[in-house]
């Protein structure tokens, strides 16, 4: 007898141009409790069509496919189905491809050497609203941050005081960024929070690191995402890198 109070199953879709990989992922993930496979596709165009019909919660998406790439499919799906979250699973880790996929709306980026447990954990994590990166991909993001962070001026007492006063006060006391007139500048505190997000830290972990309440960190993250027009925490990190490059 079904429990009416039980959470609905996670509706999962698999997209890969290789039949063996699709079948393996379907068998591996579809037998897990609380997961239901609702569709499969072998290329980007079919992925969009199937996603619009099935409306999955999460899609495991390959990138290099015929007719339309996973980046194109991700961009189209996330635009038309904003509640659907994309987990990229690919053999490619080129910088440009990584950033293209994240800009398109991917919430996680895994390489195909990931373990079964890592893939499963990532699918469940993005369904909860988290973002995940393979270690090698996370290193690329962090290398960019370290390079950019090394060129920053030390935080002045005035800017630190403005940050401690809160997001709105800090923004009011800071001059607009000349390098990017179309986006609001980030305060030093916000830059630090973005760096911690790129390391994969949760709001709770960030709060402990920067000595703020978890609710305050959540407000900071929302404000930063608005400033950088980002739709996920991973995209937020990439956009911050691009603005400072």
C-alpha span between 139 and 144 (Å, rounded): 9
| Residue (of 33, 79, 77, 31) closest to 56 by Cα position | 77
- Which residue, among 49, 204, 234, has the nearest Cα to 126 in the 3D structure? 234
pLDDT for residue 4: 56
| Per-residue pLDDT band at 85 (split at 50, 70, 90) | very high
User: Per-residue pLDDT tens for 5-31?
Assistant: 678 899 999 999 999 999 999 999 999
> Which parts of 55-187 fold into alpha helices (H)?
70-80, 95-104, 116-127, 135-150, 157-164, 167-172
CA proximity to 90, closest of 72, 76, 70, 67: 70
Question: Residue 12's beta-bridge partner residues?
Answer: 37, 58
pTM of the model: 0.62
- pLDDT over threshold 60, residue 173: no
pLDDT above 90 for 158: no
Domains for the chain: give ranges and CATH numbers.
10-133 (3.40.50.2300), 139-244 (1.10.10.10)
pLDDT average, residue stretch 143-154: 55
Among residues 104, 127, 128, which one has the least CA distance to residue 57?
Answer: 127
Q: Indicate if the pLDDT at residue 1 is higher than 60.
A: no
């Amino acid at each position: 007898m079904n429990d009416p109070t039980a959470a609905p199953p996670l509706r999962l879709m698999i997209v890969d141009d290789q039949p063996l990989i699709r079948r393996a992922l379907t068998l591996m993930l579809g037998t897990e409790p609380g997961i239901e496979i609702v569709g499969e596709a072998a290329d980007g165009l079919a992925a969009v069509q199937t996603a619009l019909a099935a409306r999955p919660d999460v899609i495991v998406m390959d990138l290099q496919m015929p007719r339309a790439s996973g980046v194109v499919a991700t961009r189209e799906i996330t635009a038309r189905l904003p509640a659907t979250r994309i987990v990229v699973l690919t053999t490619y880790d080129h910088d440009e491809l990584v950033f293209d996929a994240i800009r398109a709306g991917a919430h996680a980026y895994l390489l195909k050497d990931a373990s079964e447990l890592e893939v499963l954990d990532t699918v469940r994590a993005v369904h909860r609203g988290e973002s995940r990166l393979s270690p090698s991909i996370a290193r690329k993001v962090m290398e960019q941050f370290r390079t950019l962070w090394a060129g920053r001026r030390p935080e002045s007492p005035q800017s630190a005081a403005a940050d401690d006063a809160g997001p709105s006060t800090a923004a009011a006391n800071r001059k607009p960024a000349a390098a990017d007139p179309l986006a609001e500048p980030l305060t030093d505190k916000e830059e630090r929070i973005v760096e911690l997000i790129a390391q994969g830290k949760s709001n709770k972990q960030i709060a402990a690191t920067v000595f703020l309440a978890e609710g305050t960190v959540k407000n900071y993250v929302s404000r930063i995402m608005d400033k950088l027009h980002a739709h996920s925490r991973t995209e937020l990190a990439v956009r911050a890198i691009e603005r400072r490059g």
